[in-house]
Structure 1
């Protein structure tokens, strides 16, 4: 986000830096390419894909994130409800998965959007499932008694 001039919560930024400049910018990400999880940004990088923000760009995800950076961890979107992206929740989710993201975040959790997203997306791919399993294994087991939290969750889900 360092070169972005506007907030992705409200607008879609376009970064006009050259490929050589962006190559310098991604160096810290190479250092962290073994991280279990990563997140895409809703920014258009003209030098890489002038038509789509990174979250929706197979070029950025496959060639830059997975290729040049060498990241093979779980890749999730930033919140698809941010104003940087346009379209329906289902369209944005489907486009992000098609571009190569493993998981889609829709942080407002409006039930109509959740239903739309679930209707558009199939089961998680085998590759995404493997990355999810590796990421979850890296964080270990939660400690504590979660019975009350789980009961509350289940009660809320039963009302949906």
Structure 2
């Protein structure tokens, strides 16, 4: 998909036990990110239990307007589920996050998670919450930018022999 703005996403993954050193590395990714995916494993309750700490960390080290999508991953393993969908939805509601469940194995909702996050960011751009001229917001205007505001509409400008980049 081609967009007019290059949006920086910060994928956040809750580490397994013993990987707390990972936390200090992720902090550098928060700065300058317009969006983040906070992911937990629906088959491992402990990953869900650590969400509050990871969310606190993300909010402390990021732009206060950053869009955060809460992802319950491994929806393909329903028989091993330890975290109910309703629990994820309630956590997201309580903390003002966007929520969905995905399966990285089957690719179910994976693309949609990124598209929905990008859409939320784009809406904030349209509302003036993010200033596209300030790269500190995690948004960088790409070379294909046009003042039409077409945004996430797709591959405009590439058809009809009008030069333009790929992707």
Larger strand percent: 2
- For the criterion TM > 0.5, the same-fold answer is no
- TM-score, scaled relative to structure 2: 0.42
Larger RCO, structure (CA 8 Å, separation 6 or more): 2
